Amino acid sequence: MAVSASSSAQQARQALARRLADLCRDAGLTGLDLAERCGWSRSKSSRIMNARTPPSADDIRAWCRACGAEEQSEDLIASLRTAEGMWVEWRRMERAGLRRAQEARLPLYQRTRRFRSYSSWLVPGLIQTESYTTAALRAIQRRRGLTDDVADAVSARRERQRVLYEGDRRFAFLVEESVLRAGIGGAEVMSGQLGHLISIAALPHVSLGVVPMRPDRERWPAEGFWIYDATQVNVELISGYLTVTQPSEVAMYADTFAELAALAVYGAAARTLITSVVDALG
């Protein structure tokens, strides 16, 4: 598992390591005893117990067998999978194609009632036009050398966008002004996308804020992130997809969202800014 900078992922690894160490102690074994029973070096047992090296599923099975606790192996392997899932490299997430990556997030969207999204790169996926999504996913597919299932991936994202109009949900979108000026798909695609943002902003359950480009900002742009209710944050980084569930970290992202929201313009001021960008496109 890739080690992320997030303590959510690290704490999940440490919790698993503690459970394995407890099994060893409860069985009356030392790290050396366990290493001998598993046929490992002593250092491997120590690295696993101290969360310096993540175990594999086979390592966990061998560990439980050595401790006489085989009935706990599947539960511990499930904990391993949870920790692994907190950080996923793009190449792993998208190895089966972009469509699968889009579909994988649908259950999370369906169970969420309050969405907060901040973007410094692209228009958030839930409020993209079909042409904009196609251009963005096509660029990703080509850059990463993925299977060409862009049309299916676009359809999957369109299906996910239905949550914007269904159920008792609330949405708050923040985008940097630079997102509006980025040339995704060309002038015609961007013009259509910007017009769509104006329409989306008129929905009663949607808040759309634009953070203007200013020379005197005290809160600089951050990496794009989504907050789902108050329980989970997903962050799209250059190298992968981070899931944050630690309450203290979720609160940090919520505070950052509030700080950025305070810098944004809304309503008529946002429409004026978006319209000025459309005019600049010609």
* Confidence tier at 7 by pLDDT (50, 70, 90): low
Tell me the CATH number for domain 89-281.
3.30.870.10
- The residue ranking higher by pLDDT, 81 or 128, is 128
Q: What is the pTM of this model?
A: 0.77
Helix axes 130-144, 150-160, angle to 10 degrees: 130
Fold entry, domain 7-85: 434 Repressor (Amino-terminal Domain) (1.10.260)
C-alpha dihedral sign at 10, 15, 19, 21: positive
Name the burial class of residue 26, with classes exposed (0-12), middle (13-18) and buried (19+) by CB atoms within 10 angstroms of its CB.
exposed
Ranges of each domain in the chain: 7-85, 89-281
CA-closest candidate to residue 237, choices 56, 31, 6: 6
Q: What does the pLDDT look like over 42-81, one tens digit per residue?
A: 899 999 999 888 899 899 999 999 999 999 998 888 778 7
- The residue ranking higher by pLDDT, 190 or 77, is 190
Q: How far apart are CA 198 and CA 203, in angstroms?
A: 10
* Confidence tier at 8 by pLDDT (50, 70, 90): low
